[in-house]
Every structure is written in C-alpha cells, then in structure tokens.
C-alpha cells in the first residue's frame, strides 16, 4: 500500500530517497515525507498531497543532506491526509524519525501510556507512538536495532517500520510483521523499501525480510535478527530479473497503456518452460507430493478484486478438466464464515504482490485447518509464496498502474496451468491433451496482440461515452467473470456506476435498469463450443435492445448471429471456450482506460486506491 524507502551509503541520501519514492508512486498515497541525518542532527520535511508538493517544499525550504535517510508515501488509515499526519514522525526531541506501513492495533493504549509519562503527541496517527517508544528504548540501551526489537515486541497488528536516530547516524533499522519490506544489497551502500522498484536503478540483489524480523543496515553490510534478538536463520538473497527500464513508461502516456501493450509478452513469458522433455507439465515450486494431490477432494480459490475474477474463471477450468468441486471465495470473507477445510482440501491463493493482507490471512487460516496451499503470484520472495506449500510464479514483470491488466491475464494463464497440472497428476487429462491446451495458450499470446492492433474503434466509442453515468455488463459462462472485471475497471478508473451481471439473471431484476441509451456491454460465448448459451445471450441482447439500450457486443470473429443486434460490434479471435477471457478482457481494459482519460481522471493512480492492500 504505502511506499517506504531507506538508504545508507556514499550518495546523497535525499536524492536516493526521493527517486525511490517516485518509483513507488503507483502504490497509491495521499502524503509524502523524508528525513535525513546530517551535521549531527535530523532534518525532516513532509506534505499532504502528491510528491510534487513535498519537492516544492524542499525547494522553498531546503534541508541539509547526508548519507543516511528515509522516506515515505502515506495512504491514510489513522487520521486524515494532512501535513501533521504525514510521515516521518519524530519524537519530542527531534532525534528519532520513523516511517510505517500497516496498522498498530494497540496504539490507543500505548498513546495513553506515553501521555502519562509526559510525552506530547501531535498527530492522529498510530505511527507516532513508535517514534516516542523508540526514543525511550534507545535512551536506555543505546542501540537502535535493539530498541526496535524491544518496541516491536510490544506492538500488535501488521506493520513495517523503518527508523533512523541522530545519535547513530550510520545506520537505518527496519522491522516487519505481516507487511512487506525488502533489502537492496549494494556495493558500499544498502537500501530498504516496500518494493524492489524503489532501488532497482541501483542494485538487483535483494533480501526479502521474513516474519517478525529486524534488519540493521550499514554501508558495510546487513544484519538480520528476530524480534527476540536471535540471528535469523532463514535469510534468502535473490536476484531481481528485471531492470529499471521495465518500470518506466517507455513513451506511453500512462503505465496502464504500457502494461496493456505488454500483455502478449507477459502471457508468453508465463508459459515459458512449462513442458519438460517428456511432454509433462511443470510448475515452479510444488512441495506437495503427487499422492496428496490425487487425494484432494475440494479446491478453494481465495483472492481479492481482479484476482478474484481470475479465480472465478479458474473454477470453470478446474472443474471441467479435473472433475474436482471448486469454490471461489473473497479472501476478505473467507475465514470469518468458518469454512469447511481439511487435509484433502487444496487452497489456491492468488495475489499479484504476494502481500495482500486479506489473502494472506485466508491462507494462514487454511493452513491452520490442515489444508494445503498453492500460491499464484507475480512477486518473487513475497510473503504469500513463502508461506505456501507450492507456488506458480507469473512472469508479468513489474505492474505499476493500480488497475491490474497484465497481472490479470497472467493469473488466468497460471490458473489454467494449475488446472492442467491437477488433471495430469490425477489422470483426468492425458499428456497430449495437456500439450494441446498449452499450445492453444501459446497461440493466444499472439491473438492478444491482434486484438490490441484493432482497438481504435473501442477508444472512439469510449470517448463518446464520457458523459454517461452508467454502463452495464453482461456475460454467460466464463464471460460472466469477464463482465465483472469490465465493470470493476470502469469503477476503478472512470469513477462511474458500472455493474456486471450473469446474463441469465437479467430477467430476475437487473432488466429494470435498462432504459433508453444506457450502454450495455455483452460478452458473447462462442457459437461453437457453447451454442445453447450463445442462442440464449442473443435473446438477452434482443431484450435489452428492445428497451432502448445501446448494445456493445464483444463476439468471436465471424459470429454473424449477433451482428444485427449490435450497435457496436467488437470482434475477437476464435478461441477455445475456456480460454476466451484472455482475449475478451482486453477490449474492456482499453475501453476503461480511454473513458477515464476522456473524463480527465488520473489513470495510473485512481483516487482512494492502492496497488498493494497490505491491511485488512
């Protein structure tokens, strides 16, 4: 969610930190701030609003710079987006500075305790209590890392903390519990960040901190310990396989446009190396014995937002190819309804960042009940893959825009691969059948590119609808989750009322929303593979058109049956039925992006949203 950067080394810390924060702007935020150790003291600046506000403040009132500093972009939880609530937060003496992601659940109790000892807290945040607690602990132990460990043992909730102290100017200390924090390992310099994008221009060597760990950064090295002070025995260093240019716009007006255009490559990359020399399907890290997978009698998919829609589509593929009952659940609701799980349940957790808190807590609940967990994730070394029994990494590369595009398509590919792998292990899919579907998936990567080359009419249509208040979406079979995803994209980007419905439910209520000129997007199933559903959705189109709706129809190339009833026809390549969402979703992404642009909205950073939701 929020962005954190820390630096110690030979460069100007202020420059490094500000550049890192710029790379993290995509995460969603409402204020920004920095703190730098220089000339034996601590200098800080913070402003509500975008990073440009902070940069103007620094230009008007410069602060000294040294080789050690921290920075933060905040997404408000406790207290509104004001200058006073922006991070970093300092103690009363101005010697300690702290930045924080997450929520400290017992902050009210701690705040009252501090006030009783004479501390003066000036913000509404939960973070400020940490600065005061660190100041107290440091005064007694004289070591910032030990002070951090002492404080963390008192905190409840999910948090990432990064701190500096004017009396120990050559060290940056970080800590994490249920919130991401990664170390960048450089040459004579080291970095801390909530995302590798913050330091990828400087180093591609990284260490992902584990649960309940504290890291101490100095120029000469990195030391990781547990909250109890014991040396960490699970420190894992890894190489980031993309470079800084992958997180740049590359000539596009928006990151989202770039990421939409990158989808053919992302799909192809996610398929690379999935078939071995013997023709069998391979996943990344499957630590679940085949014998256990053969005993699975239920699959449960947990995810949030766009990833949840990928899970809804996966349900069709898993049940069709494996004959195992499959449920798709909103991760935020999963553990609260007391789901029925046991050792024969396979839970699939889908998360682009691998840090989505709702999904992580659902995963942990599943494991407590004895279920096995397989993660689908785009971020190597993140928490969800590390806490799972198996992982299939998507290879979308960095996705900067808040609204997910290429991550969604690669999640779909990964879901299909998991379904095929289960079918292979359980004997419901022969080797030649698996290879045939993988071949179809590889072909679709090219077909996504074809779709992208024909999108100008979709852009023109979107611009013509910029003044509309409502757009409705209909779909059947796997087209229903596509309709939900199309509606979500419009909500996220265009800030307009958009709803997705199963077309068969139209007559059970939603048809009351149909009136003259209301745009209705209809995702039409193939007339070949699901002819009965195709006939029914053509009838749905006729019903809404008879009531004055403006029909926008997404249908297979050559589907002449829908043409007479489409005010606007968007043709997509002919694909196998279950794989159609990979091509049908793309026009809806372009449509939402263009409509939002026409309405003057911020496409990459829509209001109130964050890229990675690391709080419940």
Q: Which fold has domain 456-598?
A: Rossmann fold (3.40.50)
Residue 28 clears pLDDT 70, i.e. is over it: no
Q: Which is nearest to 125 in space by CA: 78, 87, 186, 81?
A: 78
Please determine, for residue 594, whether its predicted confidence score (pLDDT) is greater than 70. Answer: yes
Give the mean pLDDT of 51-80. Answer: 92
**Sheet of 497-502: strands edge to edge?**
497-502, 470-475, 519-523, 550-556, 568-572
pLDDT score of 615 more than 70? no
The pLDDT of 503-523, averaged and rounded, is: 92
Name the helix (H) or strand (E) containing 318.
helix 305-322
**DSSP labels for 558-609?**
T-TTTGGG-SEEEEE----GGGTHHHHHHHHHHHHHHHHHHTT--SSS-TT-
CATH of domain 255-448: 3.40.50.10490
CA separation for the pair 418, 412 (Å, rounded): 10
Backbone angles phi, psi at 365, to 5 degrees: -65, -40
Please tell me what DSSP assigns to residue 512. G
Among the residue ranges 244-253, 379-388, 394-403, the one predicted with the least confidence is 244-253
Say whether 326 is catalytic.
no
Q: Is 249 a catalytic residue?
A: no
Question: What integer pLDDT is reported at residue 279 of this predicted model?
Answer: 75
DSSP secondary structure letter of residue 94: S
The yes-or-no answer to whether 255-448 and 456-598 have a common fold is: yes
Contact 207, 241 (CB under 8 A): no
Place of tokens 């080789």: 67
Instruction: With a cut of 80, say whether residue 249 has pLDDT above it.
Output: no
Q: pLDDT band at residue 247, thresholds of 50, 70 and 90?
A: low
Query: Pairing relation of β-strands 519-523 and 470-475?
Result: parallel
Catalytic residue among 2, 326, 377, 415: 2
Residue 616: pLDDT band (50, 70, 90) is: low
CB 89 within 8 A of CB 125: yes
Task: Out of 3.30.43.10, 3.60.20.10, 3.40.50.2300, 3.50.50.60, select the CATH number for domain 3-247.
Answer: 3.60.20.10
What is the domain partition of the chain in residue ranges?
3-247, 255-448, 456-598
Reference 34, options 68, 1, 9, 11; nearest CA is 68
**pLDDT exceeds cutoff 90 at 398:** no
Which pLDDT score is estimated for 26? 65
Helix (H), strand (E) at residue 491: helix 479-494
Cα separation, 339 vs 540, whole angstroms: 36
Residue 8 CA to residue 67 CA, distance in Å, equals: 6
The pLDDT value given to residue 250: 65
- Average pLDDT value for residue range 89-97: 96
pLDDT of residue 241: 77
Could you give the C-alpha distances from 417 to 32, 350, 389, 431, in angstroms and in order?
41, 13, 17, 13
Which spans in 86-127 are helix H? 107-116
What rounded mean pLDDT belongs to the chain?
92
> What pLDDT does residue 23 have?
86
User: Higher pLDDT residue, 240 or 310?
Assistant: 310
How buried is residue 212: exposed, middle or buried, by Cβ count under 10 Å (0-12/13-18/19+)? middle
Options 47, 258, 429, 611, the catalytic residue: 611
Q: What is the pLDDT of residues 295-351, one digit of tens each?
A: 999 999 999 999 999 999 999 999 999 999 999 999 999 999 889 999 999 999 999
pLDDT for the residue numbered 157: 82
pLDDT of 236 reads 82
- Enter the pTM of the model: 0.74
Q: Containing H/E element for 22?
A: helix 13-23
241: tokens are 């396989």
Q: Which helix (H) or strand (E) holds 59?
A: helix 51-60
Query: Per-residue confidence at 384, pLDDT binned at 50, 70, 90?
Result: very high
Q: Is the pLDDT of residue 145 over 90?
A: yes
pLDDT exceeds cutoff 80 at 123: yes
- Assess whether pLDDT exceeds 60 at residue 276: yes
Q: Which helix (H) or strand (E) holds 310?
A: helix 305-322
In this prediction, residues 216-235 reach a mean pLDDT of 93
Judge whether residue 269 has pLDDT over 90.
Answer: no
* The two structure tokens encoding residue 266: 């992302």
Q: pLDDT: is 219 or 610 the higher one?
A: 219
Tell me whether residue 232 is exposed, middle or buried, using C-beta atoms within 10 angstroms of its C-beta: 0 to 12, 13 to 18, 19 or more: middle
Q: What is the mean pLDDT of residues 168-185?
A: 92
Average pLDDT over residues 169-188: 92
* Rounded mean pLDDT, 548-575: 95
């Amino acid at each position: 969610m929020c962005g954190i950067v820390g630096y110690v080394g030979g460069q100007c810390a202020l420059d490094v930190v500000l550049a890192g924060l710029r790379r993290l702007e995509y995460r969603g935020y409402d204020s920004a701030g920095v703190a730098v150790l220089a000339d034996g003291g601590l200098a800080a600046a913070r402003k509500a609003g975008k990073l440009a506000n902070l940069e103007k403040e620094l230009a008007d009132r410069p602060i000294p710079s040294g080789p050690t500093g921290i920075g933060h972009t905040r997404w408000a939880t406790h207290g509104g987006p004001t200058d006073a609530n922006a991070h970093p937060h300092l103690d009363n003496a101005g010697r300690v500075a702290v930045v924080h992601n997450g929520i400290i659940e017992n902050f009210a109790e701690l705040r009252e305790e501090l006030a009783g000892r004479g501390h003066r807290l000036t913000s509404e945040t939960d973070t400020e209590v940490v600065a005061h607690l660190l100041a107290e602990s440091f005064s007694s132990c004289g070591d910032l890392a030990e002070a951090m460990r002492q404080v963390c043992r008192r905190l409840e909730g999910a948090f990432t903390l990064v701190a500096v102290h004017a009396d120990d100017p050559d060290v940056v200390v970080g800590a994490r519990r249920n919130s991401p924090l990664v170390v960048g390992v450089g040459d004579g310099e080291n970095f801390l960040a909530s995302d590798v994008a913050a330091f990828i221009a400087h180093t591609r060597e990284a260490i992902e901190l584990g649960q309940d760990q504290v890291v101490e950064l100095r120029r000469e090295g990195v030391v990781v310990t547990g909250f109890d002070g014991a040396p960490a025995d699970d420190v894992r260093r890894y190489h980031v396989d993309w470079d800084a240019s992958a997180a740049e716009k590359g000539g596009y007006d928006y990151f989202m446009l770039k990421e939409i255009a990158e989808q053919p490559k992302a799909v192809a990359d996610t398929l690379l190396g999935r078939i071995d020399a013997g023709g069998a399907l391979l996943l990344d890290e499957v630590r679940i014995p085949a014998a256990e997978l053969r005993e699975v009698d239920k699959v449960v998919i947990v995810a949030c937002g766009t990833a949840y829609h990928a899970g809804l589509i996966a349900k069709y593929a898993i049940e069709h190819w494996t004959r195992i009952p499959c449920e798709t659940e909103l991760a935020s609701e999963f553990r609260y309804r007391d789901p029925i799980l046991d050792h024969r349940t396979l839970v699939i957790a889908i998360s682009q960042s691998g840090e989505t808190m709702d999904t992580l807590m659902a995963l942990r609940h599943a494991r407590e009940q004895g279920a096995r967990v397989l993660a689908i994730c785009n971020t190597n070394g993140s928490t969800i893959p590390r806490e799972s029994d198996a992982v299939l990494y998507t290879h979308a590369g960095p996705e900067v825009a808040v609204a997910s595009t290429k991550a969604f398509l690669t999640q779909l590919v990964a879901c299909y691969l998991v379904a095929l792998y289960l079918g292979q292990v359980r004997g419901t899919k022969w080797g030649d059948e698996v290879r045939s579907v993988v071949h179809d998936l590889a072909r679709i990567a090219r077909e996504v590119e074809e779709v992208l080359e024909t999108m100008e009419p979709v852009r023109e249509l979107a611009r013509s609808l910029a003044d509309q208040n409502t757009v409705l979406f209909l779909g059947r079979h796997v087209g229903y989750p596509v309709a939900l995803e199309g509606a979500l994209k419009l909500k996220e980007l265009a800030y307009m009322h958009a709803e997705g419905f199963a077309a068969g439910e139209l007559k059970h209520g939603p048809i009351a929303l149909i009136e003259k000129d209301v745009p209705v997007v209809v995702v039409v199933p193939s007339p070949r593979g699901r002819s009965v559903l195709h006939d029914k959705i053509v009838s749905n189109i006729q019903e809404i058109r008879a009531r004055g709706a403006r029909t926008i129809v997404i249908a297979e190339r050559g589907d002449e049956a829908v043409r007479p009833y489409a005010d606007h026809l968007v043709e997509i390549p002919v694909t196998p039925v279950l794989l159609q969402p990979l091509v049908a979703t793309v026009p809806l992404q372009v449509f939402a992006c263009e409509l939002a642009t026409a309405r003057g909205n911020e496409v990459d950073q829509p209001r109130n949203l964050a890229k990675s939701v690391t709080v419940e």
